[in-house]
Amino acid sequence: MEMKHSAIFEEMIKLTPLCSGTLREQYFSCGKKNCRCQDNETPKLHGPYYVWARLVGGRRVSRTLRPGREADNVKEGIQNYRRFQDLICELLRQEENQVLSPERSANEVSKKNSRKRYRKP
């Protein structure tokens, strides 16, 4: 069943925090002699840290976060933003269906279906 516009917007309002980009878990060695991370046989790397990378004004910016509230917020924000984008896609699909006359949008659907049929072996 199709989502109502009001339901889409209501859900969007609740999606906070919102964060773009990706969050990657990372472990590293510090390079200090005699540190546990330098052990030749069983090195224990430092971490986990989280690297949050995103685009800000077209430039890639990354921040390193410790586990805890900030990393949790970003993790939640990224999930929320993905849902937000799904909702925008749904909204756009509904809106675009309405800009064409019914005959033409019906036409578009049948073209799409016939293309699918050709792909089948």
Nearer to Zn ion, 33 or 119 (CB): 33
| Smallest distance, Zn ion to C-beta of residue 39, A | 10
Nearer to Zn ion, 35 or 92 (CB): 35
SS (H, E, C) the chain: CCCCHHHHHHHHHHCCCCCCCEEEEEEECCCCCCCHHHCCCCCCCEEEEEEEEEEECCEEEEEEECCCHHHHHHHHHHHHHHHHHHHHHHHHHHHHHHHCCHHHHHHHHHHHHHHHHHHCC
| Smallest distance, Zn ion to C-beta of residue 4, A | 55
Nearer to Zn ion, 9 or 28 (CB): 28
What does the per-residue mask of binding to Zn ion show for 12-41, with x meaning CB under 5 A?
A: ------------------x----x-x----
Nearer to Zn ion, 35 or 100 (CB): 35
| Smallest distance, Zn ion to C-beta of residue 81, A | 34
Which residue's structure tokens are 């878990």?
25
Residues that contact Zn ion, how many (by CB under 5 A): 3
Residues that bind Zn ion (CB under 5 A): 30, 35, 37
